[in-house]
Structure formats: structure tokens, C-alpha cells
Chains A and B, each alone.
Chain A
Amino acid sequence: MKCYYHPDREAVAVCSVCGKPLCAECAQEYKGKVYCKECLAKVKEEEEVAASKSNVSKGDASKSGASEGVVPKSAVSEHTETSSTESKAKKEVPYKGASTAKVVFTSIVVALVIIGLILLSTMGISGVLTPLSLVTSKSSSVESVTAIPYEGERSITVSLDANNCMLNVKELENAIDDKVVKENTEGAKLAVLTSVNTASRMSYKNGTLTVKATGLKKNAVVNLYLTIRIKEVSLESDVKNASFSISLPDIPISAKLSLTNGGISLSNCTVDRINGTIMNGSVTIKNSGVTGIYLKGMNSQISFSDNKFLGNVSLNLLNGTLDVKGNKHIASFYEKGVNSVINCDFSKTEPPMSATFKNITTEVTINVGKQPAVISAPYADVKADSYFTVNGSNYTTPNYSKQYSCLDISVLPAGETAIPLGSITLLGGD
């Protein structure tokens, strides 16, 4: 064991107060005990304070005319000496209680600042504190209510495996103009669901707004029936172990997703834009119209089926499954993930359309049916030990390159090209 003050020297003793290891030079013996410098000063200081107190009490007693008589000069001088040493000690050694309090206070402040910064960045980056919020645009005047374009009930069904999930209706409440509320609800209040365990049910009168929540525990269902004018629904989710489905025709939805072990299913929806990340999750969109999808996924399933139109679709799917079938219109389709099983059926897709698949390392099946199509593979690269076959055509790969694994497919309107294709099966990978 090394000396606390001299790390290069071996310790020969330990301070009897603070337990610091001390070398021969630092160890100071006082009244049969070993102390370090600081503790010795404190011990002496305490003794001196005690002695001075007793002197003061003696002095008081003498002033009040007690039997001890006048305090001797030596005692006075001793007292002044004591107070001078005391002040010296005070200057040299900080008062223990104050410095400990300072340490504790400082460390709590430091810890809270660090935790606060982490929380702040969390809120800024992914909005974790409002994990699932449904926000309407503000209806600014009563007139906008009289011209309700979406009369009748609209329902959003959210099914959550909702451990630690929250449906934040407060924003919805804030989004509705006060006048609108007064005109249409006859003073009914919109309750706010603040936590998973707050099972509540509330209703606007006149059928204006009904928010019903039962339990919100495992596989709970939350129904929102909205008849107020809604311009757009934005869905922000950062949900783990949750799956939810939304069916909301006519009202455009934009969604920012972060799903882990979860899934979202949209049917009969008008989707402006979906972007986000999925981990071990699934995204299913069917019978909807989608303007833009930008998704990154790992070990996830993505399925687009029987949609009226798919606008720009950009996917980056790692070790996932992609199923595309029965979509009527596709503007552009881009997938660049690795190790994904891809099944694309473009046979019901009306031209024009284009699709690009990059980084193909596993099985890809693309069927364009009897559509007149141009399939070009300028960067088609599959590993040396893999191959790809084209069924039902005399397809060639004019610009075969091993630099990139990419397959471009363009389905053009009839008449522009006349290369009929059956299905393409691309096999490769390890």
C-alpha cells in the first residue's frame, strides 16, 4: 500500500480518523494515535475550541462575580493564542460539513444536468415523450366547421401492446379551436389520456368527438371518432412491442415511425408520407393511396398490396422480406437492402412504372406478367457463384458489371416497347 500523499512511498501506518495510508513522514502520532496532517489539525482544532469554550465560561463566571476571582494573565494570553491558531486552522482546513455539502450539491447538479441533456436530446431527436400523438390541424374559425368536408364518423383504431405507451390526446385538444369546441360540444370536456393505466372514456356531445379508451393494456383498443374538419393526421410513433392498425379514408396521414418488434398496418388510407425505421417489425399497406414511403428496416417484413397508387417508394431492407403485389400504379420503386427475400408482382401494375433493386444477394422474384416491359440490367451483378434467369424472354444483359448488384426494371406503356416478359427469377448469394 502506498502513501496517500506520496504515491512513490510505502505506507507504514493508517490515519485513525480517515483511514488514509501514510508513510513515515506523513504519519503523526498524537496522544497515542496516528493521524494524517489534516485530521490532526482538525483534532487539535476541536480540542482548542473546547478549551476556549471552557475558558470563556470561566471568564463569564468571573465577570458575574463568582468565587474564582480574576482570570489570570496567562489564561488570557492563552485564549488569544488559541483564537489565533483557530483562525489559522480555519484558513488552512475547510470546514468539513460545508465542503461535503458542496460536493453532494455539485454532484447532484452535475448528474441532473447530464440526465437532462440526455432527455432533451431524446425529445429533440425522436420525440419519445409524445410517442403516439394524433394531431389535427387547427380549425381557425367556426366557418370551417360549418363546411365540414368529412361528415360522419371516422375511426382510428389503435391496438397497442401498450406497456409504457401513451396516447397523447392533449395535442388533439389543443388543436381544436375554442370556438369550435363551444359551438359543437355544449361545454363537454375532452379528457386527456395521460398514461397507460388511465382507462377513460369521454365523449363530445352532438357526436362531434368521441374518444374512447379502454384499458390501454395488452392489445387494448383506442377508438377516435372524429367529425371535426381534419386536414391531416400525423402519426408519430416510437413504440416497442406494439402493433397498430389505422383505417382512415380521405384524410391524409403522414407518419414518422420507429418500430421495434412492432407493426403498423394501414388499410383504406391516404398516406402523404411515411418515413422511419423498423427493427424486427412489419409494415403493411393495402387498399390505400401512398404518395411517398421512405423506410429502413432490419429483419422486417414490408408488404404493399392492392393499393390504388404507390408514389415514390424507397426502401432499405436488411435481412427482410418484401412483398409487392396487385398495386395499380407505381411511380418509382427503389430497394437497396441486402439479404432480403423479394417477391414483386407488377403484373397488375399499369405502365409506366420503374423499379430498381440494388445489392441483390439473395433470391429475388419479379413478375411483370404480360406487360410490355423493358428490363435492363446495366449494373446487374450477382456473385460469381450465382446466376439469374429470365423466364419467357430472350433477355440479355448488355452492360453486365460486377461492380454493383443492381437491377433496373421499366414497364412502359404498350406500343413503346415490345419485349414481353414472364417472370424473372434472380438467384444468388451465399
Chain B
Amino acid sequence: MSDIDARYMLGSILLSLGIVYILSNVTANFSPFWGFIGIFLIFEGSYYTVKYVFRQHKDITNPLVTLFLGIAVLIFTFHIVIPTFTMLVAGFSIAVGAALLLSGFVFKISRKEVLSGLILIGFGFLIATPAVFNISEKFYRYLHIYGVGALLILLGLVLMIPRNKKSVKKDEGGKSDEVH
């Protein structure tokens, strides 16, 4: 951590505290602790994201995850989404997923990150949707009835799909290229 990073962090702590102090005075139903966490994460995340954009920082995934987590924390803190357990899990899952997707799709091309992001977003929406439409009970009842069976069927199908066996192609330079 360089000098300017440390200074920015201290500054952002003070800024966050100031904003939280004002908000807690003018806002009802506002948790100062989580408000501070959210605002601080947004400051830190945006700093390192901007640093990456200006080519002064190597990593983009972690700053984006920090930024999106901060946004999620603030969304719950301000009760834009009511912070029930289900929505918290879904919200943070979607936040991390969106950060990974953005990082893997826009800033650097990484299939692994895009896939992880999509899985996390899918998981988040899967558990959030029944709660949003108030059909959780029905959903989990059907999941209980059909879920395990469907999963096993899916796994069976995946195993049945013919795939190329591991083969090794050698090119001119003697390098090997694995094809699955």
C-alpha cells in the first residue's frame, strides 16, 4: 500500500463517518454501522477501480466486488430492498456475481469469471424470485418434490452426453494443446 493509498483510505473513513453522521441525523431507520460499511466499501471500490482504469492498479475483480458489495449493503441499509435473510443472501450473491461478470466480460476476458458471475447471479435470482412474488412456500414445496429428482436427471444427462476424450495434439513448436 503506497502513501497515497493509505491517505485515501483514512480520508474515505472520515468521509464515510461524516456522511453517516449527517444521514443518521436526517434519516429514519438508518443503521449507522452498516451505512458506514456500505459507504466505505463504495469509496474503496471506486478508488481501486478508477486506479485500474488509469493503469495504476493490477487487479480489477476485487475492487469491483468491493464496490458492488458496498452498493448492496447500502441498498439494504436504506431499505430499498427489505433485508430479510433470503434477500440478503440473494442480494450479496447477485452483487458479487455482477462484479465478476463485469470484470470478466468488460475489463478482462476471463471465461472463468463470467461463468462464476452468471452462476452467482442465477443463484441469487433463483432464491429471490419466489420471495419477491410471495410464492416461497409453493416454490420450496415443489422444489422438495421435484428438485432432487430433476438434479439427478440433469446430472445423468450431462454424463450421457458424448464428449471427446482427452487427446493431445502436438504442434510444430512441440507445445501441447489439450482438447476436452
**Could you say which of A103, A106, A129, A260 contacts B26, with CB atoms under 8 Å apart?**
A129
| Bound CA span A132–B70, Å | 27
Contact B137 A338 (CB under 8 A): yes
Query: What residue in chain A is nearest B25 (Cβ atoms)?
Result: A195
B71 & A238 in contact (Cβ 8 Å cutoff): no
Nearest-neighbour CB distance to chain B for A241, whole angstroms, equals 9
Q: Indicate whether B58 reaches chain A with its CB closer than 8 angstroms.
A: yes
Indicate whether A239 sits within 8 Å of B28 (C-beta atoms), given known contacts A111-B46, A318-B134: yes
B168 contacts the other chain (Cβ, under 8 Å)?
no
Binds A, one of B75-83, B118-126, B156-164: B75-83
Mark each residue of chain A from 122 to 157: 1 if its CB lies under 8 Å from any CB of chain B, else 0.
100110110110000000000000000000000000
Contact between B27 and A164 (Cβ–Cβ < 8 Å)? yes
Please indicate which of the listed interface residues A107, A126, A338 has the most CB atoms of chain B within 10 Å of its own CB: A107
Q: Which partner residue on chain A sits nearest B56 by CB separation?
A: A103
Mark interface residues in A261-292 (1 if CB within 8 Å of B CB, else 0): 00000000000000001010000000000000
Beta-carbon nearest neighbor of B42 in chain A: A111
Can you name the residue of chain B whose Cβ is closest to the Cβ of A279? Answer: B82
Stretch among B47-55, B97-105, B171-179 lining the A interface: B47-55
Q: How far is the CB of A31 from chain B (nearest CB, A)?
A: 23
Q: Which of A290-306 contact B (CB under 8 A)?
A: 296, 298
Any A CB within 8 A of the CB of B128: no
| Interface contact B29-A164, CB-CB below 8 Å | yes
Contact present for B137 and A361 (CB under 8 Å): yes
Assess the B78–A166 pair: CB atoms within 8 A.
no
Name B43's contact: one of A4, A99, A107 (CB within 8 Å).
A107
A254 at the interface (CB under 8 A from B): no
Residues of A within 8 A of B15 (CB): 108
Interface pair B51/A339, CB less than 8 Å apart: no
Interface size class, chain B: 35 or more
Query: What DSSP secondary structure best describes chain B's contact surface?
Result: helix
On chain B, the residues within 8 Å of A110 by CB distance are: 46, 49-50
Specify the main secondary structure of chain A where it touches its partner.
mixed
Bound Cα distance A4, B134 (Å): 50
Determine the chain B residues whose CB is within 8 A of the CB of A165 once the complex forms.
28-29
**Bound CA–CA A339/B137 (angstroms):** 9
Known: A114-B42, A238-B28. A126 touches B47 (CB 8 A): no
Instruction: Select one of A121, A166, A260, A316 contacting B82, CB under 8 A.
Output: A260
Which of B29, B46, B47, B58 meets A114, CB within 8 Å?
B46
CA distance A131 to B25 in the complex (A): 12
Q: Which residues of B contact A122 (CB under 8 A)?
A: 78-80
Known: A118-B75, A118-B80, A165-B29. 7 other contacts (CB 8 A): A102-B54, A104-B4, A114-B70, A115-B39, A119-B23, A194-B25, A338-B134
On B, residues with C-beta under 8 Å from A are 4, 8, 12, 15, 19, 23-30, 32, 39, 42-43, 45-47, 49-51, 54, 56, 58, 67, 70-71, 74-75, 78-80, 82, 84, 134, 137
By a beta-carbon cutoff of 8 Å, the part of chain A in contact with chain B is 4, 99-100, 102-104, 106-108, 110-111, 114-115, 118-119, 121-122, 125-126, 128-129, 131-132, 164-166, 194-195, 238-240, 258, 260, 277, 279, 296, 298, 316, 318, 338-339, 361
Q: List 25 A-B contacts (CB under 8 A).
A: A100-B4, A100-B56, A103-B50, A106-B54, A107-B43, A108-B15, A110-B49, A110-B50, A111-B39, A111-B42, A115-B74, A118-B71, A128-B28, A128-B78, A164-B29, A165-B28, A194-B25, A194-B26, A195-B25, A195-B26, A260-B82, A279-B84, A296-B134, A316-B134, A361-B137
